Structure 1
Amino acid sequence: PSQGISGVTITLEHACKGFSPDQPSLPMKFGKLLRTTVDMRMPQWRDYVFQYKRLKQVINQAVQQQQSGACSSDQILSDFTNLIDVEVARVNDFYSDRIEEGVIILHALRNQADRLQGTSPDKGRHAVQQSLVTFHLNLLILQNYVALNFTAISKILKKFDKRCKLQLRSEYISAIVELPFYRCQALGSLVEEAESLFKAIETPTTHWQQKQEVQAQSQAQAQAQARQKLDAALLVRQE
């Protein structure tokens, strides 16, 4: 642990403690759980979350159109697929933008950490650690964002299949498994790199200390070699 700018003890684990959505005392429908989690954990991203409620309303309208014969099943399937394509693209684009930002931020933090090597080990360390804690927490929020949105996509497809008596979910999920937000590999890498960098800064034996130790050893070896040469020269003169 280390002392942050505010003076409280900071670790990545402590910063993320209690991050998971609060467990409701009673079972909560997914739509309400989605809204509650977004409002509590990521209100600034509300406009970029999968529109689960709106698509539920679309499904209700589609069922009525089927029953009245106002629209064919093929048309309903096509229209709903187009709507969900738009939602998935918006989620995926938002995720990709956040990953690009994350790469830039982590690069800047790594540069700050590298600059600590040439100074006293404690100088600036707390500020970088504080920034890493905030960055890491934002990455975890993004992980939660991905999980919520994919769950919303899966559930709305399941509801569509059941209510409209059509088959879309399996094929659609298979089609999006290669999307960045679904694979989530880049996000996982950023989380691991942030944690590794935090530990590297936190470790008592820093890169700066290691560099100083290597320099001291080199100087000692050079001095020893100089003494050996001097002793050898003195022996030659004595002979």
Structure 2
Amino acid sequence: MKFGKQFRGTVQARMPQWAAYMLDYKKLKVAISQLETARSTLQPQGGWSLEEASSSFTALLDEEVDKVNSFYSDRIEEGVIIIHALKQHVDDLEAMLRAKPHDVACLEQRAACQRSLVALHFNLLMLQNYVALNFTGVVKILKKFDKRLVASLRQEYIAAIVELPFYRCAALGQLVEEAEKLFANLERNHCVPSAPQNQQERIVSVSGGTCAPMAVQQPHKSPATAA
């Protein structure tokens, strides 16, 4: 299965609500085909330049990367606000539970806070996947450009975006770690009934691998075709 189809399938399966903010891989692929057609038409007449083609494609790719980076930055800003509010809530809850460890209202607030942390953690993990999938798309489309236009744009372009927040994603790793610590604090510090087991099982430590490339979904092969 070609990457473009895998890309769309992964978006639809894992993050359909963010589809409008994904790298438009198809548009970039079409642009490469148009540049390739222009080369075959204009090059014999001396009216085609690889430098101009690279500049045109880079401008289009810049727009897509800016879209991804802006979306990532907005989600990080939201996450910082949410984690700050939850941290204050956890601190307040710990004080309340020390004073009234079996108070029903306090226990209900604790369970609600845990559910909020689970929801935040899930969204942060989805953002990790968003980053990994879009970066893979950037690398793949640059590889396609270089192959079909006989160019060497990929290394230069990647070197130019390594300082962007969505590439470095240090803030995302910090948010994931903070959410896990807050949840663990609620679990560790109070030996009282907590969130339902199915909620607890959904928040597991992933710190240290924040932006590792995510495997794109692959088609299943039968034993006969796998040989």
TM-score after normalising by structure 1: 0.72
How many residue pairs get aligned? The number is 179
CA contact (8 A) 2:94 2:186 kept: no
Contact 2:86 2:113 in 1 (8 A): yes
Q: Match of 1:231? A: none
- Structure 2's unaligned 5+ residue stretches are 102-106, 192-227
Residue 48 of structure 1 pairs with residue 33 of structure 2: no
Which residue is 2:53 aligned to?
76
Instruction: Name the structure 1 match of 2:161.
Output: 176
Give the C-alpha shift of residue 39 in structure 1. 1.1
The residue aligned with 1:233 is none
Q: Superposition pairs for residues 1-239 of structure 1, below 5 Å?
A: 28-69=1-42, 71-120=48-97, 121=101, 122-205=107-190
Q: How far off is 1:118 after superposition? A: 3.1
Computing the radius of gyration from Cα coordinates, the structure with the larger value is 1
Q: Any conservation in 2 of the 1:116–1:123 contact (CA below 8 Å)?
A: no
2: CA distance, partners of 1:34 / 1:167:
24
TM-score, with normalisation over the residues of structure 2? Answer: 0.76
- Residue 160 of structure 2 aligns to a residue in which SS? helix
Secondary structure of the structure 2 residue equivalent to 1:192: helix
Structure 1 residue runs of 5 or longer lacking an equivalent are 1-27, 207-239
Shift of 1:205: 4.2
Amino acid at match of 1:174: A
Q: Which amino acid aligns with 1:157?
A: L
Percent identity (aligned): 58
Between the aligned partners of 2:57 and 2:139, the Cα distance in structure 1 is 14
What whole-Å deviation, never above 9, does each CA across 1:131-185 have from its counterpart, x for those lacking one?
A: 1001000000000000000000000000000000011000000110111000010
Note if contact 1:50-1:87 (Cα within 8 Å) is conserved in structure 2: yes
Question: What SS does the corresponding residue of 1:166 show, helix, strand or coil?
Answer: coil
Displacement of 1:123 after TM fit?
4.5
Which SS does the other structure have where 1:124 is aligned?
A: helix
User: What RMSD, in angstroms, separates the aligned Cα atoms of the two structures?
Assistant: 1.3
